[in-house]
Structure 1
Amino acid sequence: MSTFPVTLITGFLGSGKTTLLNNLLHDQQMADTAVIINEFGDVAIDHLLVESAIENAVVLQSGCICCTVRGDLVDTLGDLVAKAERGDIPRFSRIVIETTGLADPTSVVRLFAGEPLLAETFHLRAVVTTVDAVNGMTQLDKFEEAARQVALADVLILTKTDLVEPQATNVLRDRLHHLNPGAEIIPVVAGKLSPDDLFAHAPAAPSGPDGDVGRWLKLDAFGPREPHRNGHDHAHGDASSSHDDHHNHDDAHHGHLHHDASIHSFTVTLDAPIERDALRGWLASILSLRGQDLLRMKGIVNVLGLDGPMVVHAVQDIVHPPMTLAAWPSDDHSTRIVFITRNISQPALQRSLEAMAREHRVS
Structure 2
Amino acid sequence: MSEARDGRMRLTVLGGFLGSGKTTWLRHQLHHGQMKDALVIVNEAAEVPVDDALLARSAELRVLAGGCACCDGREALVALLRAICDARVGGDDALASLDRVVLETSGLADPGPIVDTIRTDPVLIHHLMVDEIVIAIDALYGLDQMRHEPLTLRQIETADRLLVTKVDAAAEPDLARLVATLQALNPGAAISGAAMGSGAGLPDHAGIEPVAIPPAEGSRAPAPIAATRLDLSEATDWPAFSVWLSALLHARGDDIMRVKGVVRTPAGRLLLQSVRKVVQQPEIVPEAGAKPTDDDNSVVVIGRGFRAEDLRKSLAYFTGERR
Shorter-chain TM-score range:
0.5 to 0.7
State yes or no: 1:77 paired with 2:67: no
The residue number in structure 2 matching 1:12 is 17
Q: 1:261 to 1:170 in 2, by over 3 A?
A: farther
1:257 corresponds, among 210, 214, 226, to 214
Asked whether the equivalents of residues 128 and 155 of structure 1 are also in contact (C-alpha less than 8 Å), the reply is yes
CA distance in 2 between partners of 1:121 and 1:29 (Å): 22
Deviations 1:63-104 (A, max 9, x none): 521111375211111222333444363431111101111111
Asked whether the equivalents of residues 137 and 165 of structure 2 are also in contact (C-alpha less than 8 Å), the reply is yes
Q: 1:183 to 1:73 in 2, by over 3 A?
A: same
The residue number in structure 2 matching 1:157 is 163
**TM-score, length-scaled by structure 1:** 0.48
Offset of residue 45 of structure 1: 3.1
Asked whether the equivalents of residues 181 and 210 of structure 2 are also in contact (C-alpha less than 8 Å), the reply is no
Q: 1:258 to 1:119 in 2, by over 3 A?
A: same
CA distance in 2 between partners of 1:113 and 1:30 (Å): 23
The residue number in structure 2 matching 1:183 is 189
The residue number in structure 1 matching 2:148 is 142
CA distance in 1 between partners of 2:192 and 2:169 (Å): 16
What is the DSSP-based 3-state SS (H/G/I as helix, E as strand, rest coil) of the residue aligned with 1:41?
coil
State yes or no: 1:64 paired with 2:59: yes
CA distance in 2 between partners of 1:260 and 1:165 (Å): 31
Offset of residue 25 of structure 1: 3.1
Q: RMSD of the TM alignment (CA)? A: 2.8
1:93 partner letter: D
Identify unmatched segments of 5+ residues in structure 1. Answer: 49-59, 195-249, 263-363
Offset of residue 155 of structure 1: 0.2
Offset of residue 41 of structure 1: 3.1
Offset of residue 107 of structure 1: 0.9
Identify unmatched segments of 5+ residues in structure 2. Answer: 1-5, 66-74, 201-208, 220-323
Deviations 1:162-187 (A, max 9, x none): 11111111100111011100000001
User: Which deviates further from its counterpart, 167-176 or 21-30?
Assistant: 21-30
**TM-score, length-scaled by structure 2:** 0.54
Offset of residue 251 of structure 1: 9.2
Q: 1:164 to 1:260 in 2, by over 3 A?
A: farther
The residue number in structure 2 matching 1:43 is 51
CA distance in 2 between partners of 1:252 and 1:23 (Å): 31
Give the fraction of aligned pairs with identical amino acids, expressed as a percent.
Answer: 31
Asked whether the equivalents of residues 178 and 210 of structure 2 are also in contact (C-alpha less than 8 Å), the reply is no
What is the DSSP-based 3-state SS (H/G/I as helix, E as strand, rest coil) of the residue aligned with 1:127?
strand
Asked whether the equivalents of residues 129 and 156 of structure 1 are also in contact (C-alpha less than 8 Å), the reply is yes
User: Which deviates further from its counterpart, 22-31 or 137-146?
Assistant: 22-31
Offset of residue 142 of structure 1: 0.1
Offset of residue 113 of structure 1: 2.4
Deviations 1:31-82 (A, max 9, x none): 3211111258322537x7xxxxxxxxxxx4x452111137521111122233
Offset of residue 258 of structure 1: 5.1
In the TM superposition, what are the counterparts of 1:1-363 in structure 2 within 5 Å? Answer: 1-39=6-44, 41-43=49-51, 45=53, 60=56, 62=57, 64-69=59-64, 72-84=76-88, 85-87=90-92, 89-91=94-96, 92-193=98-199, 253=212, 257=214, 259=216
Deviations 1:141-197 (A, max 9, x none): 001100010000000000011111111111001110111000000011112259xxx
2:35 partner letter: M
CA distance in 2 between partners of 1:11 and 1:104 (Å): 9
CA distance in 2 between partners of 1:86 and 1:95 (Å): 17
CA distance in 2 between partners of 1:153 and 1:65 (Å): 25
Asked whether the equivalents of residues 8 and 96 of structure 1 are also in contact (C-alpha less than 8 Å), the reply is yes
Q: 1:63 to 1:159 in 2, by over 3 A?
A: closer
2:214 partner letter: L
CA distance in 2 between partners of 1:251 and 1:43 (Å): 33
1:151 partner letter: E
